[in-house]
């Protein structure tokens, strides 16, 4: 449906007499034995769908050895790096399965080789063939920013063999971030045709994201994730135009963050103090790898709950739980009473903002269990002194507000999970509230009515699994579909696909996350009216095979089927 | 519990004054911050648990560069091959993560290296240390069979630093298959100690499988699985003592088997006739790879249902479905009427038994949809002629019996899915009935009461997924727990873990199958009384990390936790 709308728009704007959308690839099975349940993948369709996407039936072919990206821009290190990377992504597709197939063709049938050649020759006589495209100019008109940020400009424009520049290719943006997104789109629309040649259809794209915060949350505490997997995942995030890696770096189970000021935290709190940690060098490498792909790294240091692993390396930080009038040997949330707690948090967070260049830190604040606080005499004495009665939410508020204050003095923004808002903690207007529980529509309405920026994750907890096309439910969830004013809707900055780590490590992370998170990617990038699951099914099928071809173990998304180039380790 | 029983047995048999089971590894977190939900992995415990397993606290250390497997046996190609393979598996463990850790140790603390050395020196003064083990003799007393079979002898005995041979190591079996299983067990009990040294505890093992048929079913029709994945999976099957690869090679969706006599079947029925097929050479390689690991390859050619993909390459084979008195363009099951059907099946199955050396072929026979048969006038005329009335199960019986007859003339055994039995098809006594539906206890009772051999898969459909420790439910299912005589119980030959292919391909197969199938492996190999989930949890935790260390992406099995050597691609 969305594609039809695009086509209508295209007719109106360009008055092209004859064109069509790209035909989907056909299954190998003949029509008479058509296999109804299998999705036919599109060919050369971008994911996520651009805001404005007009594609003609006419096309140009590209010869890898005679193709360039001429650059018209001031010096921009990110740009040079990106062009080299995308040249590789677009053309380094002659991998094993393809070579094997060519080899098989040759072995089995000389005729098929000749046939292919005939096709390529004949195709030059095809009236849709507009000849060879030898370059796509990259025009960066304005900003070469160093770091991606919440308000980064990601708009770009692509013109390939357009009415106003026939036979030419252009990618234009005011911002390096737009150029990065545009290169990714180019790497989708430049595709392998049936005859094995590389083609790009005559195309006009004007594109920008619907939401500015499009994140993937990974959890490196329940299971440690080696740096190599985090880097590879950043690649795949870029393939899907995600722009925030929310790094839930520590939690109850382990503390892999190696702190300079508090080295005991990982020394005693990591699964292994040597092998299961992130050194300052590791983090710098991950932040840099993300930066050059236009991805922010948003660290989360979740307190006062979810902190058991902090305790070993920082005696006195956690609340001692009591039973029968004495400590029972277990520990609860951070102890919000002593001044030493805030001194510790100040020094830790000061280090965190020096290590992670992002303007925000996620402070957690979810699922604080009041049971241990209730059992502790010191806590109760403090409650009395402060006049909190038996309202432990007040104590949580007391703690969180002191932490938010620390972030203010550090001149950084804060994000918090929704409980902080739900428990009536007074937070500054610039604090972003992250909605993750059920009943999210009511919650988004309340959070934005209170004037807070909001992020949505409730419907995108990808750690839940099933053997269904569950991407469709992620796809159907819209962060602005709640009762609220236009002004409220604008306060929703986006959302995040979350892959909590209880059942996920390097063995299965990429397969479990992709292409299911791709559904979230399109929801957060594309226009609200791009919501037809049926047409999306064919495109996500292609997109998953595109990722597979790039070496990503993105798992089957629509049930039985195949990729032209299967995954091979 | 099971370990306790073993210990008691051990005391009675050997009257050793002082010993203990190997201590589980401790989490990195100190005791005060113990993380209750995480399973502590065992160290050096075998999976599946041997029938008789006595392990002492005493141990010997092994130096890779000064260790051998001397062989006392007649020439046996499989044995030489296996010794080379297991030497590699046991000692080729200095992979990345380990090297990285050593490097880190050195970088961070000269002291820790010294400490390790001190430990190794001091360990020679440890009274449990029985010195260096320089060889384990492999004694194959009798059979070097060429092919594994249903009745293969897999018993073996291991003695390491035993009371009757202190300081020595022996692996003895009457059969090459027993030697293979014993080498696998050795590769588990020879383990890396905390100090990084390679050790093996003083051990006595007398082991043999409880069931003779221990299979893994993979489906290469819903998704094509590249040969490399099938080979890798055979390795992992061997790590778990599985001995049958049930290859559900073709089905409704695609026909990747490249037939010599009917090449059109894959030419027109495969997802791609060049890249998504198994050539005769591919199959020979897979069969050989399985053979040297003591694994049978049991091919399934499922008819008369599940055959849509056969139709394109064999016009006239499938039933034309009718609507409003004429063919509606769709196809149903194999048409059981024409003689040409049986001529085709005879020639195809004759080829199949020449390609797959196993004594059995799985003929399928499940889920035959009678709707299309009912609609077809030719079928109904035949039903009338045969006096079947409107009982289409009779027609199915007619078809299946002719196919079983073909298998008899080919001098091969047959396996069928339970519907064949349920529909009262008279099958020969040597036909094995494969139970897959719910209510399996009733079904096993009925099948064995009728005197048939049976296989169980109902409780082991691993394509269903969830984020729970679902291995525990697989582990709890016992194929002999049904109402029946001892004679009936003996007719249960084992079972198979099934991973149907709707949502599985090379991107996620290994992670989804392992270590969940390992639970089935222990159920089918170990003694019936090895059924305590709690002690199994620690051992399967170790076993999954063992597989991870061997490069298998075996996914987390018990929720949060870690492996000493994490998976790195």
Residue A86 burial (CB count, 10 A): 21
Query: How many Cβ atoms from other residues are within 10 Å of residue A288's Cβ?
Result: 12
**Whether A38 contacts chain B with CB within 8 A:** yes
- The Cα-based distances of A513 to A216, A507, A518, B536, B555 in angstroms read 9, 12, 8, 29, 14
Q: What percent of chain A has pLDDT over 90?
A: 82
Of A86-100, A420-434, A523-537, B196-210, the range with the lowest mean pLDDT is A86-100
Residue listed under structure tokens 């040249």: A87
The pLDDT score that the predictor gives to residue A93 is: 57
Q: What is the pLDDT of residues A200-230, one digit of tens each?
A: 999 999 999 999 999 999 999 999 999 999 9
More confident residue, A19 or B145: B145
CB A27 within 8 A of CB B269: no
How far is it, in rounded angstroms, from Cα A242 to Cα A220?
19
- One DSSP character per residue, A44-78 reads S--SSPPSEEEEEEEEEEE-GGG-B--EESS--HH
Contact B214, B241 (CB under 8 A): yes
* Distance (Å) of CA A198 to CA A48, A120, A188: 21, 11, 11
* C-alpha to C-alpha distance for A255 and A249, rounded to whole angstroms: 7
Burial group, residue A563, by CB count within 10 angstroms (0-12, 13-18, 19+): buried
pLDDT value for A98:
36
* pTM (two decimals): 0.90
Residue of A nearest to B269 (CA): A29
Catalytic residue among B80, B367, B502, B566: B367
Q: Where do runs of H (alpha helix) occur along A492-559?
A: 509-513, 516-525, 533-549
A554 lies within 8 A of chain B by CB: yes
Please, what sign has the CA dihedral across residues B161, B166, B169, B171? negative
> Is there a contact between A167 and A161 (Cβ–Cβ < 8 Å)?
yes
What is the pLDDT, as a whole number, of residue A487? Answer: 98
> Length of chain A, please?
569
Give which of B468, B515, B562, B567 to mutate to test A binding, by max A Cβ within 10 Å: B562
Cα dihedral angle (A298, A300, A301, A303), rounded to 10 degrees?
Answer: 140
Instruction: Calculate the average pLDDT of chain A.
Output: 89
Q: Is B109 on the interface with A (CB under 8 A)?
A: no
Q: Do B505 and A100 touch (CB under 8 A)?
A: no
**Residue A90 Cα, gap to closest chain B Cα (Å):** 21
Cα separation of B540 and B47, whole Å?
7
For chain B, say whether A104 makes contact (Cβ under 8 Å).
Answer: yes
Question: CA torsion sign, A94 to A99 to A100 to A105?
Answer: positive
Residues on chain A touching B511 (C-beta within 8 angstroms)? 507-508, 511
In chain B, residues with a C-beta closer than 8 Å to the C-beta of A269 are 29, 33
CA-nearest residue to A272 within chain B is B28
Residues A544, A45 contacting (CB under 8 angstroms)? no
Tally C-beta pairs within 8 A across A and B: 208
Spatial distance between the Cα atoms of A147 and A295, rounded to a whole number of angstroms: 9
Number of helical (H) and strand (E) elements in chain B, helices listed first: 20, 18
For the ranges A1-10, A381-390, B152-161, which has the lowest average pLDDT? A1-10
Above 70 in pLDDT, residue A470?
A: yes
The ranges of chain B with pLDDT < 50 are 1-36, 94-123
Supply the angle between the helices A227-239 and A533-549 in degrees, to the nearest 10. Answer: 130
pLDDT value at A34 more than 60? no
Contact assignment for B566 to A108 by CB distance below 8 Å: no
Residue A95 predicted with pLDDT over 80: no
Say if the Cβ atoms of A104 and B506 lie within 8 Å. no
- Nearest CB among A508, A548, A566 relative to B224 is that of A566
CA distance B35 to chain A (A): 7
The answer for B236, left when phi > 0, alpha when psi is -120 to 50, beta otherwise, is alpha
Residue B564 contacts A where some CB pair is shorter than 8 Å = yes
Can you give the pLDDT at residue B100? 37
Cis peptide before B304 (omega within 30 of 0): yes
Report the pLDDT averaged over residues A158-185.
96
- Residue B312 has its nearest CB partner, among A29, A329, A503, at A29
With residue A202 as reference, give the H or E element that holds it.
Answer: strand A198-207
Q: How far is CA B382 from CA B392, B421, B425, in A?
A: 11, 23, 18
Quote the tokens at residue A530: 């791009």
HEC per residue, B349-362: HHHHHHHCCCCEEE
- Secondary element (H or E) of residue B364: strand B360-364
pLDDT recorded at residue B441: 98
Contacts of B304 by beta carbon, 8 Å cutoff, 6+ apart: B333, B334, B336, B365, B368, B396, B399, B400
Tell me which of A68, A96, A146, A367 is the catalytic residue: A367
Are A553 and B27 in contact (CB < 8 Å)? no
Q: Please give the pLDDT value at position B38.
A: 75
**Tokens representing residue B73 in the block:** 């046996």
Which residues does chain A have within 8 Å of residue B466's beta carbon, measured at their own beta carbons?
A: 465-466
Q: How far from the centroid of its chain's Cα atoms is residue B164's Cα?
A: 34
| pLDDT, position A124 | 52
Q: Inspect the interface and report whether the beta carbons of A276 and B562 lie closer than 8 Å.
A: yes
What is the DSSP-derived secondary structure letter of residue A278? B
**Of A237 and B97, the one with more pLDDT:** A237
Mean pLDDT of A490-514: 98
Residue ranges with strand state E in B477-534? 492-499
Q: Which B positions 183-242 lie with beta carbon below 8 A of chain A?
A: 221-224, 226, 228-229, 232
Higher pLDDT, A256 or A111: A256
Residue A466 neighbours by CB distance under 10 Å: 12
Q: Is B367 a catalytic residue?
A: yes
Asked if B568 and B97 count as a contact pair (C-beta separation under 8 A), the reply is yes
Tokens matching residue A388 = 């909190």
Contact B27, B34 (CB under 8 A): yes
Tokens 């007499």 locate to A17
Query: Within a 13 Å sphere around the CA of A428, how many CA atoms are in the beta-carbon half?
Result: 17
Query: Does the pLDDT value for residue A28 go beyond 70?
Result: no
Percent of chain B predicted with pLDDT > 70? 88
pLDDT, average across residues A142-151: 93
């Amino acid at each position: 449906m969305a594609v039809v709308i695009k086509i209508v728009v295209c007719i109106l704007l360009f008055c092209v007499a004859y064109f069509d959308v790209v035909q989907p690839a056909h299954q190998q099975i003949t029509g008479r034995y058509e296999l109804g349940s299998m999705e036919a993948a599109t060919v050369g369709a971008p994911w996520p769908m651009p805001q404005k996407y007009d594609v003609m039936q006419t096309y140009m072919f590209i010869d890898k050895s005679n193709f360039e990206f001429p650059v018209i821009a001031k010096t921009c290190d990110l740009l040079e790096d990106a062009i080299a990377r995308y040249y590789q992504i677009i053309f380094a597709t002659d991998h094993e399965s393809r070579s094997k197939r060519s080899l098989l063709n040759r072995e089995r049938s000389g005729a098929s080789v000749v046939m292919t050649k005939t096709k390529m020759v004949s195709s030059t006589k095809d009236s849709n063939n507009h000849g060879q495209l030898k370059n796509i100019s990259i025009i960066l008109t304005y900003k070469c920013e160093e770091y991606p940020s919440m308000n980064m400009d990601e708009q770009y424009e692509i013109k390939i063999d357009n009415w106003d520049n026939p036979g030419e290719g252009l990618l234009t943006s005011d911002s390096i971030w737009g150029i990065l997104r545009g290169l990714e789109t180019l790497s989708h629309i430049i595709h392998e045709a049936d005859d094995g040649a590389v083609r790009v259809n005559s195309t006009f794209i004007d594109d920008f994201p619907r939401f500015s915060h499009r994140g993937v949350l990974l959890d490196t505490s329940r299971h440690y994730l080696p740096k190599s997997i985090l880097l590879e995942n950043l690649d795949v995030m870029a393939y899907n135009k995600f722009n925030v890696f929310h790094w839930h770096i520590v939690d109850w189970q382990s503390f892999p963050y190696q702190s300079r000021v508090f080295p005991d935290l990982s020394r005693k709190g990591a699964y292994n103090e040597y092998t299961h940690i992130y050194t300052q060098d590791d983090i710098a490498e991950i932040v840099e790898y993300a930066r050059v792909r236009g991805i922010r790294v948003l660290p989360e240091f979740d307190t006062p709950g979810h902190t058991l692993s902090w305790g070993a390396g920082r005696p006195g930080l956690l609340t001692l739980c009591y039973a029968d009038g004495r400590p029972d040997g277990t520990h609860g949330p951070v102890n919000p009473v002593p001044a030493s707690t805030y001194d510790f948090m100040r020094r830790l967070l000061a280090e965190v903002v020096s290590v992670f260049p992002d303007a925000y830190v996620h402070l957690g604040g979810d699922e604080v269990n009041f049971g241990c606080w209730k059992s502790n005499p010191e806590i109760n004495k403090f409650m009395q002194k402060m006049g909190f009665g038996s309202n432990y939410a007040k104590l949580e508020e007391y703690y969180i507000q002191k932490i938010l204050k620390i972030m203010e003095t550090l001149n950084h923004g804060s994000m918090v999970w929704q409980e902080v808002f739900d428990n009536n903690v007074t937070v500054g207007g610039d604090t972003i509230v992250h909605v993750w529980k059920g009943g999210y529509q009511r919650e988004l309405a309340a959070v934005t009515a209170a004037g807070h920026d909001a992020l949505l994750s409730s419907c995108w907890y990808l750690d839940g699994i099933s053997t269904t096309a569950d991407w469709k439910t992620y796809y159907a969830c819209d962060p602005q579909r709640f009762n609220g004013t236009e002004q409220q809707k604008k306060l929703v900055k986006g959302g995040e696909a979350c892959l909590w780590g209880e059942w996920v490590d390097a063995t299965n992370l990429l397969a479990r996350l992709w292409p299911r998170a791709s559904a979230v990617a399109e929801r957060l990038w594309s226009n609200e009216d791009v919501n037809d699951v049926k047409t999306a099914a064919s495109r996500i099928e292609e997109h998953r095979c595109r990722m597979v071809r790039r070496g990503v173990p993105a798992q089957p998304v629509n049930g039985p089927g195949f990729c032209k180039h299967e995954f091979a380790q």
